[in-house]
Chain A
Amino acid sequence: MSDTVKKVDGITKESTQKMIDKALEAYPEKGRKKRAPHLAPNDPGGGACVKSNRKTVPGVMSARGCAYAGAKGVVWGPIRDMVHVSHGPVGCGWYSWGTRRNLMSGKTGVSNFAMQFTSDFQEKDIVYGGDKKLAALLREAKELFPLAKGISVLSECPVGLIGDDINSVAKTMSKELDLPIIPCNCEGFRGVSQSLGHHISNDTIRDYIIETREFTEPPGPYDIALIGEYNIGGDAWSTKPLLEECGFNVKAVWTGDGQLENIAATHQVKLNVIHCYRSMNYMAKVMEEKYGIPWIELNFFGPTKIRESLRALAERFDDRIKENVEKVIAKYDPLMQKVVGEYRPRLEGKKVMLYVGGLRPRHTVAAYEDLGMAVVGSGYEFAHSDDYDRTAPEMPDATVIYDDASEYEMEQFAHQLKPDLVASGIKEKYLFQKMGLPFRQMHSWDYSGPYHGYLGFPVFARDIDLAVNSPTWKLVKSPF
């Protein structure tokens, strides 16, 4: 979306390619061949410069998760008023229990279900199948959690391998319990990353949920849905009120702090506002084709992108919305300027390396730039080509783009680029901190947040400053 090509001092196409070639030297030939197309210098005008959405190369220490993680952790898990059953052995649900920070309203165990529900497969379930157990546990869930609006059944690896038929169980039990029971065949071995889990989950929303509820209020011209907003650290509690302040009725949030029935009635809205394109573009496109609902991709990180986004959104509506949006921008801009005024002098010229998922490797670039920082490398765990197309113009010229980076590659690049901040995930965090590099977790906002919207930017700026300028880093080198 930027008009001018950004540059970073000292980074050229040649220097970046040299750095990539050096990192690839350590690989055996076959591994090198497979990894090489996933690493390249950015070409801001040229779209995707790397291959993506390919099988992970074994043994390289990828940061990727699986289809189940994409279904449970990302799409289904955040819906607050459903029981989400991790169907299979105990581990998958245990690891993904409370570890994404998709915050929820309501009372846990009563009206929200931020818990770990599992069928806890044992050897006998593998041998004899788990369908009967599934039926029994669905009855128990309905009895013990009567306010749950539905139940998702999220398959773990064994379920697909032993040939259980959760779809049939779900159909029978939906009738018996008069409750939506959504079978989601998101076994971890499917696909190449969590991305397929997003897609499968979108498909289950399409096949089982959408159109099964209707809003009771009459439709209005400003009815929208917020799609791909997962309420990490309370993000939706910043973006939803912001959109409401602009005059919109946000009828449903997919899926952060989400409600099943509102999601099911989303076919009645006028426009879908999509934040995380990667995980939810499928349903945005389905709703466009099937119900004629247009969608718009926005960015709520940092004042520059929020301003651009709100204006782009207003363009789709009448003067009333346009006026509201200008009023909102005029109200918040001075506040954001104050934040920039406080933190920019402390962060000016600092370099950042990003490696995240979904939307953040491109969407947060401008937010760092609002703070005077430069992003010198970026990449995704599970992106597709259309994500890299969208990333190219956001990133400075010739900076390194890495797809499904291995830990080895990230370490080599950091040695070379000497960033002042690495923004990535929990598996990367302590490696870089041991190198004496400031770090922020950018999946979970490092237990902080929100980072979205006008409420989020001051928190983001403060957090980046506290990471980069903590006096603790000055003590890393001992004087003796």
Chain B
Amino acid sequence: MANNLGLTVKPVTPITPEDEARVGEWINTKEYREKNFARQALVVNPAHTCQPLGAELAAHGFEGTLPFVHGSQGCASYYRSTLNRHFREPAPAVCSSMSEDGAVFGGQNNLHEGLENAYALYKPKMMAVFTSCMPEIIGDDLTAFIRNARQKGHIPKDFPAPYANTPSFNGSHIHGYDAMVLAILQTLTEGKRVEGRCTGKLNFLAGFDANTGNYREYKRLFEAFGIPYTFLADISESFDSPNDGTYRLYPGGTPLVEAADSINGKATLTVGPYATSKTYVWMRDEYAGKHASLPMPMGVVKTDAFLMKLAELFDKPVPETLKAERGRAIDAMTDAQQYMHGKKFAVYGDPDLLLGYVSFLLEMGATPYHVLCSKGSKKLEKEIQALLDTSEFGKAGKIYMNKDLWHMRSLVMTDPVDAVLGDTHGKYVTRDAKIPLFRFGFPIFDRVHRHRIPTVGYQGVINMVTEICNKFLDVVDETCDDRHFEMMR
């Protein structure tokens, strides 16, 4: 029967150009902004996604590891295609393909069959299991299910199968990342702690960082110091693998043996405190040696702190090459500062990235004017505020916690800025505001290879200064009148 809503039959009436123009102007007003900020229930264009995506990213960071989504199959396809689009790389992952009968009987049969098939077809060294909504709601007991899988021979008794609960109705992708890394490290290091043994190495964890260039940059810095390291959850090869005509299912990742021995490391350092908070607390308790958690080294001050921490942990001086590199970064900043000084920016993204953006902008004499996080916390708000308070350029900055990109649009349209730092999803805001968008975050679906250009360390500073200032200069050249079109800028 049609018309179940009991709607009155009406004539087809298209939206008129007049209405479109009127509402088009209205959504740019302060009045609209007030209504928009009064929203209590509707979320529009959030800048974060659900936990399992982060779990899959983490799983790809380990040698021979096949991410295994326990839940409905559409979930797995969504995570995979998101990673495919961002990295322009394969993202092999399997799924237990739960359906209606799973809702009634639980997901154990699907999980077992999936583990057995995946083990046979894709010959992984480890399967990292994580959950989407369905098993979380019906209460699947992963501990029992995986124990049973071993007993029934679906996977070998000693096969590593760490698992993490990553409910999508809680936290965001950064929390899924944290939960999966923690589960993997707990599994691999179990019983591996040897009193008195020291690998002499640094254990390093980058957090939810989808810039493969950053991973390579960290390694270059460790190598400059001569610090031996184990890069945990290292996605740099997994998502930036060579094309030589051979497809490799598992082209990279932290070697499992090394990850297992990381518990006997000389020092452990994380640079994504918000994306590794649980893992770090656990490592601090369980891992040998010294421990430290620093903010992401974005901008000069945070990079200085990062290098000094490395020097302290390994009792080595900061190498001359990096001192020179610092000088080159400062040179790049001073040469280009006039193009950024006093410019206002809107910034949004994950907590660890936001802190980095704010630091860097303040160093350049630019103002982080609208600072927005769509999944944040009081702690984050305080930390960003403290950072803004360190500089006169931070005075005008305002923080918007747990607001989305439709809020961001209202902010930018009623209280303009010169540019936005974020990711691809900000492009509708910046198009309407006719200002540049800098894609330093995740995901990047509409530009090639930006995820290969580092944003951390002194090299990251040079890259960001170059990208931002040259874009502003492009805008001048593209928009100035003929009389002001000049050879030099």
Give A residues with C-beta under 8 Å from B: 26-28, 30-31, 55-69, 81, 85, 88-92, 94-99, 106-111, 115-123, 125-126, 133-134, 136-137, 140-141, 143-144, 146-147, 149, 156-158, 160-162, 170-171, 174-175, 180-182, 188-192, 194, 206-216, 259, 261-262, 264-265, 406-408, 411, 425-427, 429-436, 476-478
In the assembled complex, the Cα of A26 lies from the Cα of B123 at a distance in Å of: 10
**8 smallest beta-carbon distances between A and B, as pairs:** A66-B74, A91-B50, A59-B114, A58-B114, A59-B117, A95-B78, A59-B118, A137-B41
Enumerate chain A residues within 8 angstroms of B257, measured Cβ to Cβ.
Answer: none
Interface size for B (C-beta < 8 A) is 99
Taking the complex as formed, is B318 at the interface, i.e. its CB lies under 8 A from any CB of chain A? no
B288 CB, min distance to chain A CBs, angstroms: 36
Contact status B46-A206, CB under 8 Å: no
Given contacts A89-B50, A161-B137, A162-B137, is CB(A66)–CB(B73) below 8 Å?
Answer: yes
A174 to B7, CA, bound (A): 8
Asked if residues A90 and B168 are in contact (CB atoms below 8 Å), the reply is yes
Q: List 18 A-B contacts (CB under 8 A).
A: A58-B111, A58-B113, A59-B113, A94-B50, A109-B409, A110-B24, A120-B43, A143-B35, A146-B23, A149-B15, A158-B134, A190-B99, A212-B8, A212-B9, A406-B121, A427-B90, A435-B246, A477-B244
A119–B3 Cα distance when bound, in Å, is 25
Residues of B within 8 A of A30 (CB): 113, 116
Query: Is there contact, CB below 8 Å, between A174 and B72?
Result: no
The chain B residue with its CB closest to the CB of A430 is B90
Q: Is B169 a contact partner of A123 (Cβ separation < 8 A)?
A: yes
Q: Using a CB-CB cutoff of 8 Å, which residues 87-105 of chain B contact chain A?
A: 88-100, 102-103
Inter-subunit contact B84/A430 (CB<8 Å): yes
Given A91-B53, A214-B9, do A140 and B39 touch, yes or no (CB 8 Å)?
Answer: yes
Q: Which of B115-155 contact A (CB under 8 A)?
A: 115-122, 132-134, 137-138
The residues in B between 233 and 280 inclusive whose CB is less than 8 angstroms from any CB of A are 241, 243-248
Known: A97-B425, A189-B99. A207 touches B1 (CB 8 A): yes
B433 within 8 A of A: no
Interface presence of B488 (CB below 8 A): no
B4, B10, B100 — most chain A CB neighbours (10 Å) = B4
Residues of B contacting A68 with CB < 8 Å? 74
Are A476 and B244 in contact (CB-based, < 8 A)? yes
Interface string of B50-89 (1 = CB under 8 A from A): 1011000000000000001001111101111110110011
A427 to B78 alpha-carbon distance, docked (Å): 10
List B residues at the A interface (Cβ < 8 Å).
1-15, 19-20, 23-24, 27, 32, 35-36, 39-46, 48-50, 52-53, 68, 71-75, 77-82, 84-85, 88-100, 102-103, 110-111, 113-122, 132-134, 137-138, 167-170, 172, 241, 243-248, 406, 409, 425, 428, 445
Inter-chain CA distance A208–B3, complex, in Å, is: 4
Across the interface, which residues of A come within 8 angstroms of B7, CB to CB? 174, 180, 212
Q: A181 contacts which chain B residues (CB < 8 A)?
A: 5
Question: Which residues of B have CB within 8 Å of A110?
Answer: 20, 23-24, 27
- Quote the shortest CB–CB distance from A156 to chain B (angstroms): 7
Inter-chain contacts of B43 with A (CB < 8 A): 90, 117-120
Question: Are A59 and B94 in contact, with the CB atoms below 8 A?
Answer: yes
Give which listed residue, B8, B40, B113, B132, contacts A57 with CB less than 8 A. B113
The one of B10, B120, B121, B248 that contacts A61, using a Cβ cutoff of 8 Å:
B121
Closest to A433 in B: B243
By the criterion CB–CB under 8 Å, are B44 and A115 in contact? Answer: yes
